[in-house]
Amino acid sequence: MLLFQLFERAPGLIIPWLTALVAALTIHEFAHALAAYRLGDSTAERAGRLSLNPLVHLDPMGSLMLLLVGFGWARPVPVNPSLIGKGRFGQFMVSFAGIFANISFALFCLAWLTLIFNFESFSADNYLIKFLAFLVYINISLFIFNLIPLAPLDGFGILKSFAPELFFRVAPFLERWGFFILLGLVFFTNAIGFLIVVAVQVISGPFGLNIFNLAFGGL
């Protein structure tokens, strides 16, 4: 759901949508900073990124893109791989921390939605329900999106953590052109959108919830 569509069809939902976006991006970047700090790298902490203050994580251009087209990014957390303990496994944990935080946050919100519908008679149009459904959708989207093994996404860092030496022959190419390949996937194919739809359905299915209906029903 692009931002201008929310403005056009349900202007009142723009606040919960933006709040959910900022919360998901903030917890993602904070998790990277916390993992690095716990593993001995204080680079992010010294840069003021070990914080849940969204202002220290939002990227001006990435935020503008989110507002205009619904696709954007936060500021990458600075890390120093030479300071991270536990070798490649430590680097994996730092790369994985962000997407782990997103999927954990999504599951937490799914649990809350289940409890609400079991004990309270809220309608799907309730703003609390919409907000929680937005959180589930956005966090699962970030989880799937960041698993893609292209720089500068977390999936690339995860791949580098365990890839054989042969991989590092093509790594410079992926680091140089990964962002442009990613833009092509986002704007010229539906591959990522398809993966997100499937993931949302699979992850929310066991909770008996239709997240797409709860988040976007009536829009």
Catalytic residue numbers read 29
Name the nearest CA neighbour of 39 among 98, 75, 101, 82: 82
CA 210 – CA 142 distance, rounded (Å):
19
CB 13 within 8 A of CB 6: yes
**Locus of tokens 């977390």:** 154
Structure tokens at 154: 């977390």
Under 8 Å between Cβ of 109 and 132: yes
Which residue matches tokens 């860092």?
A: 157
- Interatomic CA distance for residues 51 and 34, integer angstroms: 9
